[in-house]
Amino acid sequence: MDSARFVEPLIPLASLLALGSLVAFYFWLRRQDAGTARMREVAESIQIGANAFLRRELISITPFVLLVALLLLIVMPGESNWEVAGGFVVGSVLSMLAVYLGMNAAVHVNVRTAAAARSSAARALMVAFRGGGIMGLSITGLTLLGLYGLSLLFGVSPATPGHVHLLVGFGFGASFSALFAQLGGGIFTKGADIAADLVGKIEQGIPEDDPRNAAVIADQVGDNVGDVAGRGADLFESGADILIGAMIVGLAFTPRYGWAAVLFPLLSEAVGAIGAVLGVLAVRGSERRSPLFSMNVGFLATGAFCLLSYYLLATCVMRDVRIFYCLVLGLLTALAVTLLVQYYTGITLRPVREIARGGMRGVATNLIYGFAWGMESAVALKILVAVVNVIAFYLMGGGLAGVLGITAATLGILVMKGIIMAADAFGPIADNASGIAEMAGLGPQVRHAGDALDAAGNITKAITKGYSMSAALMSSVVILFAYLLSAAQLAGVSGEHLSSFVTFGGADPEGMVLRLLRSLNLAHPLNIAALMIGSTIPFLFTSQAMKAVGRTAYRMVEEVRRQFREIPGLLAGRVPPEYSTCVDIGTAHALREMILPTLVGVAFPVAVGFLMGPWALAFYLIGVKVVGATLAIFMFNAGGAWDNAKKYVEEGNFGGIGSEAHQAGIIGDTFGDPLKDTAGPSLHILIKLQNILGITLLPLFYALGLKWD
Amino acid sequence: MDSARFVEPLIPLASLLALGSLVAFYFWLRRQDAGTARMREVAESIQIGANAFLRRELISITPFVLLVALLLLIVMPGESNWEVAGGFVVGSVLSMLAVYLGMNAAVHVNVRTAAAARSSAARALMVAFRGGGIMGLSITGLTLLGLYGLSLLFGVSPATPGHVHLLVGFGFGASFSALFAQLGGGIFTKGADIAADLVGKIEQGIPEDDPRNAAVIADQVGDNVGDVAGRGADLFESGADILIGAMIVGLAFTPRYGWAAVLFPLLSEAVGAIGAVLGVLAVRGSERRSPLFSMNVGFLATGAFCLLSYYLLATCVMRDVRIFYCLVLGLLTALAVTLLVQYYTGITLRPVREIARGGMRGVATNLIYGFAWGMESAVALKILVAVVNVIAFYLMGGGLAGVLGITAATLGILVMKGIIMAADAFGPIADNASGIAEMAGLGPQVRHAGDALDAAGNITKAITKGYSMSAALMSSVVILFAYLLSAAQLAGVSGEHLSSFVTFGGADPEGMVLRLLRSLNLAHPLNIAALMIGSTIPFLFTSQAMKAVGRTAYRMVEEVRRQFREIPGLLAGRVPPEYSTCVDIGTAHALREMILPTLVGVAFPVAVGFLMGPWALAFYLIGVKVVGATLAIFMFNAGGAWDNAKKYVEEGNFGGIGSEAHQAGIIGDTFGDPLKDTAGPSLHILIKLQNILGITLLPLFYALGLKWD
């Protein structure tokens, strides 16, 4: 019997363990003290705003999900239309559910973190981290549940291996609703953030999170709907897409590795889910150690468990130790990327210092340096990942097996997803807790504990960013191969001939590979045109996202200024502002603005596929990927570096608060905000959405006989 | 006898006509009145600064040219090393000579334009345009002279068609020195511009070109060494590279079109040179009409002549009227791109208005909108060009012939090069004339005439930008095909089998094409890695260029501030500033900063070629191209739109001068300056430099047997 079958039960068990732990953590958290009446009041405003936003967002998305499901039902070839359309709906729904669970926890945990901070910083850390852990466990648990459940339902088995392709609908659904969630949340959060900073800090000179600022609740809501919900949706979809892509790639390896090659990605995710539970439990906080130390204990616990399990999986299930090396290579890549991101955005290092110093000679020099360092960071990261791809390829001996090496390295990055997501959601929770403490007028020792958590949150943010960048860069290669291998198999190239397709050697007795390669040829103008079009899509998308933030911020700035102008006694602190109007403006704008870019993201690959054929679409997709990834890294790191350059000046360097360098720093930060928190993360999703959509539509292109040969 | 031989003498004759007219215009211009003593004094400062910069630049470049020539001599295979190395030196020298002639004319014409404006606006226009015309004629005349001369020297003929490949050294030389010139000039001009604006306009509140500003002469010098010399070098190299690429592509078509296919690009350039002479002569100025009207007469004269000649060339020499259609398609593309550029950067249109209006809600909204609209413009332009490529491809019936269609469309854009360059150089000349009038204290009527010319110069700037973008986008496809076809021919695929290489059909009896296509396959991880690396190079390069401008501006801001602080009586206008220290700072920084990026630009394709092989290099090159072109368009148009948004506010909109929107507008403009005038144009050159370098090295890769199969 295939050794894979023997360990298969690990998959549902890990899913149940993750979801069960989630429930346990949830009840544990509900039992924590929620603080004073004033704290609960502030928290409730955030809960109401965030839940209202998420509810309206889900309502807005639903008709589009149904419409796309209906279209899939109609256009997909008859033998798979129900499965693809149904999988699409399941993927969308589980993505929304995961996001809802995670964000709902976050908006209840923030106040409890602030309350715990009154007595114990260690306790506060534990509360906040477990709150983040709920998002981490919900996305890993539900991904596994959805993919494994659908595999059973669709009868994916060694007897019918092709049914693996039916899972793509699930990935498409997850990507589709993730793009809405990330865009909507990103537009909301940055519109509010810019307005709060601009009118509050620059014009009125009042501190961050000051209760007199009408945009301050909207800003806090934004942290939850943008950073928590958006990032959760992002990691849910990237997990789903990578796993499905890896399973499809695995199909090509069943002759060599048996069914284990297909199940391996799910087993790897199962290991990650168990590791995440262990990691969240291991973060306990300590009065003597820094919050970062406690979190590192969690990372180490997860990492050690995953490494050990990976070794067993590689040697006992796949029976090829080289796969373990590739997995380790992936983990090391994530680590190296994280270090690079820390160099380019770290507050005491050269890039950030130079950007901050540039501000002493005017805003333009601050902007120019930030732009330049951000671009350089993209180069460093991407060349690193390109080299890792080549190493993983040759580690498995090159050829078709080399593709499995790249896939394994990507899974090696993915395995830490749960704990990374927990640490990521921890950031906005701590941020919110500080805000609540400030607004509820808690004493300085609470604020001190909050600041320590906040600082830790900023570091975990850099880590998760590096992580998600390396995951995105590596995974897009895997998903591209899933596309190419699917297309090749549909075109009739299979088994050993697939080797001839990705290597310089190999046989082609029937001329099939020649036919295929002619179509995948760089020397065809249609392919070049597709590549050119694809390479512009990230620019189009970024442009739309930026304009959306600009419009939202523009309206909200107007509103905050109006309140300061028209509400007597507001600035003196005698009368509270109308927080809810800002929340409403953000909600209305975000929900309206998220629709067009998402539909454009779906329409382009469909149009290219139908007009130029499935092979040109491959070139289109790689165009989206190479440009999108570079642009996203640039935006992440430039935004992060501008943010920290401002903080560096605020710490008293180059003239400190109120100096010319500080004014320049605030402008750089405000400009960088939508780059790093709206456009950048959405681009990550867009790349995968288009790839998985391409794979989904391949059977349709094939059925229509579109320029297939 | 081949009809091409019959018209071949047109090539040297057109070159001599262009160079002869250049001399005639030069003496005509020297005879014009150079104005008052004070005007001549100001002009002389500019001449001294600009000539000193150019001389030192040429001296700095020379050792690198000799070094590269020596390396080529050593490493290139023995049968071609002298030709390639010699062509490289000739290309470099002619590029520098063309730039020197053109810029030298410009710095003598500026003061004569100001002098003529005292009596007649029409006369001023004619003087300025002929001054620009010298650059236009020098680049077309010397390109033709160099390429035709080398063709004769290398014995390029129907008997030895392969000798066409020997011309690549010339293109590489032209690109190599152009990159230095554009980068050095661009860093100088933007460093000075930012410093002059920041300290003068923002801090001291004194007008543009005010003589009390220490950076004002450096700024004027910058217009000449950056805009005039840089753009001249750019168009010289793009002309040379496209012509060589088109001749190499033409080689594949000699079976069908005879030797005419190879000579056709040079004939087309000859037509353009004659058209440019006619066009410059046709611009005569009129007291009743706007300057733009007079210039349009020149464009129309050139356009009409070129169209007619093209029809004759296509029908009588190539004997295929479809080539004429493709040429017309190219002209229409350039026109459409120009209109798009005008939409995205035009002062009264929606994008610019929205950017300007954004400034009313803070700098960040101005920046966000400019960034977003700039990105959108890149999408529009690039999709247009991708579609034009596909149309040209199918206009010739697809397949290999389709590649000729794309080439012809590109030549159709290139033909207007001379007159476009004249109009482009006209801009900085008019700008300098205004500056001289301001500094020499001429009366308001002179300034009024100067402003009219300046406004016309801004429109021609938009036209030439659109033109150079469409040329760059189209030409990179042609040069890529030159690379691929050269590689295929070296690999042994020739004659009718080449068809099989760029179409879905065709025969492959000996399996050669299969071998080739396997190597050019998107599904090989090595190719994907090369594409990933290539796609980051434009980011690396932009980063370096931006940092160089940042450092130069930083130093110059410091110096201008120091002079205002330490020179008593400077602000009162009693003591002049020390202009020369700013010129020296700019020169020293620019010459130092231009070296590393250029060497990196050369080192990367060499490294990729040697380590990953010639086929991966093709993917690398297309990666550079698709990202570089998109990024360059974004930077051009964002910068242009920010510039005009500031002007729009200065015209009295959204609060006018001194308002919040104006402050935001100035910052946006200053940030956009190095994007549009340093990084953007240099990227255009970088793309072609790397492509032509790749073609140059192909025989070496072949001789070394690098992963060829």
* B493 domain residue, yes or no: yes
Name A23's Cβ contacts closer than 8 Å, sequence gap at least 6: none
Location of structure tokens 């090295």 = B697
Residue B160 CB neighbour total at 10 angstroms: 11
Best to test chain B binding among A354, A361, A366, A608 (most B CBs inside 10 Å): A361
* A491 domain residue, yes or no: yes
Which amino acid, residue B19?
A: L
pLDDT reported for residue B2: 65
Beta strands in B314-468 (DSSP E): none
| CB pair distance less than 8 Å for A670 and B543 | no
Q: Which span out of A127-141, A346-360, B459-473 was modeled with the highest average pLDDT? A: A127-141
Name A33's Cβ contacts closer than 8 Å, sequence gap at least 6: A112, A115, A116
The distance from CA B299 to its chain's CA centroid, rounded to whole angstroms, is: 19
- Assess whether pLDDT exceeds 80 at residue A577: yes
* A578 domain residue, yes or no: yes
Distance (Å) from the alpha carbon of B518 to chain A's nearest alpha carbon: 6
Averages of pLDDT over runs of 10 residues in chain B (709 residues) are 80 97 96 93 92 91 96 91 96 96 95 92 92 96 97 93 94 96 94 89 82 90 90 92 96 90 95 96 86 89 94 93 95 89 89 94 92 95 94 90 94 92 91 89 80 80 80 88 90 76 66 76 89 95 95 92 92 89 92 91 94 92 93 93 92 90 92 93 92 94 69
What's the whole-model pTM score?
0.94
Percent of chain A with pLDDT over 90: 69
pLDDT reported for residue A510: 67
Q: How many Å apart are CA A637 and CA B85, to the nearest integer?
A: 42
Angle (CA) A592 A594 A599, round 5°? 110
Residue-averaged pLDDT of chain A: 91
Residue B595 CB burial class (10 angstroms; 0-12, 13-18, ≥19) = middle
* B214 domain residue, yes or no: yes
pLDDT tens for A375-388 read 999 999 999 999 99
Q: How many Å apart are CA A412 and CA A403, to the nearest integer?
A: 14
Distance (Å) from the alpha carbon of A261 to chain B's nearest alpha carbon: 20
Q: How many Å apart are CA B559 and CA B578, to the nearest integer?
A: 10
Best to test chain A binding among B201, B329, B368 (most A CBs inside 10 Å): B368
Which chain B residues contact residue A481 at CB under 8 A?
523
Location of structure tokens 């929107």 = B661
Among the partner-chain residues A375, A488, A544, the one whose CB lies closest to the CB of B543 is A375
Long-range pairs, A647-653, Cβ under 8 A, ≥24? A647/A347, A648/A347, A648/A348, A648/A352, A648/A353, A648/A356, A649/A356, A649/A359, A651/A347, A653/A353, A653/A356
Distance (Å) from the alpha carbon of B183 to chain A's nearest alpha carbon: 15
Which of these, B372, B527, B529, B95, lies nearest to A190 by C-alpha position? B372
Beta partners for residue A521, in sequence order = B521
Please tell me the number of Cα atoms within 13 Å of A157 on its side-chain side.
Answer: 6
Q: How many Å apart are CA A33 and CA A42, to the nearest integer?
A: 15
| CB pair distance less than 8 Å for B375 and A626 | no
| CB pair distance less than 8 Å for A522 and B524 | no
Distance (Å) from the alpha carbon of B506 to chain A's nearest alpha carbon: 10
- Assess whether pLDDT exceeds 80 at residue A684: yes
pLDDT reported for residue A1: 46
pLDDT reported for residue B447: 76
For residues B308 and A508, which has the higher predicted lDDT (pLDDT)?
Answer: B308
Q: How many Å apart are CA B642 and CA B424, to the nearest integer?
A: 20
Among the partner-chain residues A372, A403, A519, the one whose CB lies closest to the CB of B504 is A519
Angle (CA) A622 B547 B370, round 5°? 65
* A709 domain residue, yes or no: no
Which chain A residues contact residue B502 at CB under 8 A?
521, 523-525
| CB pair distance less than 8 Å for B522 and A390 | no
Where does the pLDDT of residue A459 fall: very low under 50, low under 70, confident under 90, or very high at 90 and above?
Answer: confident
Best to test chain A binding among B532, B642, B654 (most A CBs inside 10 Å): B532
**Structural domain harbouring B645:** 3-501+511-704
Best to test chain B binding among A504, A552, A635 (most B CBs inside 10 Å): A504
Among the partner-chain residues B519, B523, B532, the one whose CB lies closest to the CB of A626 is B532
pLDDT reported for residue B279: 95
Q: How many Å apart are CA A90 and CA A143, to the nearest integer?
A: 10
Q: How many Å apart are CA B122 and CA B106, to the nearest integer?
A: 18
| CB pair distance less than 8 Å for B554 and A386 | no
Dmax over CA atoms of chain A, in Å, equals 85
Which chain B residues contact residue A667 at CB under 8 A?
362-364, 367, 667
| CB pair distance less than 8 Å for A532 and B358 | no
pLDDT reported for residue B547: 94
Which of these, A328, A493, A501, lies nearest to A400 by C-alpha position? A501
Q: How many domains does chain A have?
A: 1
- Assess whether pLDDT exceeds 70 at residue A229: yes
* B709 domain residue, yes or no: no
* A597 domain residue, yes or no: yes
Percent of chain A with pLDDT over 70: 98
Among the partner-chain residues A386, A390, A674, the one whose CB lies closest to the CB of B368 is A674
Which of these, A105, A95, A113, lies nearest to A24 by C-alpha position? A105
pLDDT reported for residue A597: 92
**Chain B residue whose CA is closest to A377:** B540
Q: How many CB pairs under 8 A join A and B?
A: 290
Q: In the structure encoding, which two tokens stand for residue B282, read together?
A: 């046709």
| CB pair distance less than 8 Å for A520 and B523 | yes
